[in-house]
Amino acid sequence: MLAGQPIYILRDNVERTRGFEAQRSNIMAAKAIAAAVRTTLGPRGMDKMLVSSSGDVVITNDGATILHEMSVQHPGGKLIVEVAETQDDEVGDGTTTATVLVGSLMEEAETLLGQELHPTIIANGYQLGMERALAILEELSVAVGADDRENLVKLAGTAMTGKSIEGIKDQISNIVVDAVRQVATETGQDTYVVDEDDIKIKKQVGDSMEDAELIRGIVIDKKRVFEQMPDAVTDAKVALLAQPLEITKTQVKSKIKITTSDQMQAFSEQERESLRKLAEQIVAAGANVVLCQKGIADAVQYYLAKNGIYAIEDVNEGDMKFAARALCGSIVNKPEELTEETLGHAEAAEEIPNADLTIISGCENPKAVTILLRGTSQLLLDELERAVYDAARVIQDAIEDGKFVVGGGSVETELQLRLRDYAATVGGRAQLAIEAFANAFETIPRTLAENSGFDTIDKTVALRKAHTDGAKYAGLNVYTGEIIDMLEAGVIEPQRVKTQAIKSATETAMLLVRVDDMMVTQSGQPGAQ
């Protein structure tokens, strides 16, 4: 106020929320988003049906997919959606856990704010709690190697449990483990690196899910360009061409003046001769399969078919590069550049009838592989693809880090008890924040029990007692309700997944709890002061 007159520093279309109301707004948004995905957590979690404005339907219990499809407008809510998407990008799994933890941490913060604990003290306590939790998580981890197939299969199975593919979980788990191990590159003694782009997932509607298979090569959504070509080739030697197999147009405008029929005939013969030479160069290189990124002229198709060569045109750039890695070949621009060294090699190339698919399989030592999924509907295939993606990323994490932790609410219960003991050693007001941080972990076993139809109080108390008695791997069997050893039961997940979930959830809660002034324009975007 100046001489009784108000001074405006914000535009008229900016809505400002200050103090506890701003904090409460973010808290309510976090709790609402966590509640939206909470019922999907665990093997007995339920699915969500999401229908877009255009009528497209998605049925899934994958947290990242659900949040991605939701139209979240609240600024704090958008931040939590980004947390789930980051979790999915970084480790491939644990998105629901991260989201539920954010909601629980914000709920605990609400209680502390009601007790007039300063937001910076809460954030500091959460920071101390996170650092201690990650150290405890390191102590609870179990070593796993790239050759430990048994535990790797269990890791993949845990990642896919609760999806709509329970009937073929074991089969898919073995396929995924084989795929990741195939492309893992050893960088040192017992250390590996895996490029997720070396594993491609292809889908085909029509057959049963049991027909899923691992192709040690590639699958292309194309069929041969000419019916007279062979529909299958053994001992495939694959030429990878980036330029079209046809007469290319000149870069400048030009005209050819033909005045006689002899000139016309000579011109046509010269054109056919040029195209025939293109085919002959491919034959001379020893290739019997051609993947061309551009078009193939009809004459070239004829000459290739005459020599028993299988050819595909208009292969997209991504598939070409993937084929080069999988088949250990090189992409060349022109047929005259083809040599024995540039050709890719595989046991067979064949066209799948009535499917417009070409499978090139049987690479001796592929640098990339394809998982071919089949299913009776597109919705089922989409969910199967998400499950396979999660499982592949989980195996990648485990092989690269060499560590895993147990599931079933075991880790969260152990963290809760140990963090409470740690809080007592810190003292002061920060102790309250650390205790609240510890309490937030109880939401995971409580949610698992709730989604499985068991009494949440009974099961969380039983879990705490088991861990107090020294059973650090004790967790909830969601099918029987018993408290069992999760390590023996094979309910395990990579340490990286849990670590990333705790980090991202804690850092987001710390950021949101410190907000005490929120300015939003009428368009829904944060305003600037």
Residues annotated as catalytic are 62, 95-96, 390
Would you state the structure tokens that stand for residue 155, as one six-digit string? Answer: 């890791």
The residue behind tokens 């001074």 is 7
Check: CB of residue 199 under 8 Å from CB of residue 392. Answer: yes
Would you state the structure tokens that stand for residue 500, as one six-digit string? Answer: 């990333």
How many other CB atoms are found less than 10 A from the CB of residue 524?
Answer: 11
- Rounded alpha-carbon distances, angstroms, from residue 388 to 10, 93, 97, 165, 220: 50, 11, 19, 10, 19
Per DSSP, what are the bridge partners of residue 358? 220, 351
**What b-and-e string marks burial along 271-304, b requiring 16 or more CB atoms within 10 Å of the CB?**
eeeebeebbebbbebebbbbbbbeebbebbbbbb
Give me the torsion for CA of 316, 320, 322, 327, rounded to 10°.
150
Q: Map residue 46 onto helix, strand or coil.
A: coil
Check: CB of residue 501 under 8 Å from CB of residue 101. Answer: yes
- Please give the Cα distance from 508 to 118 (Å, whole number): 17
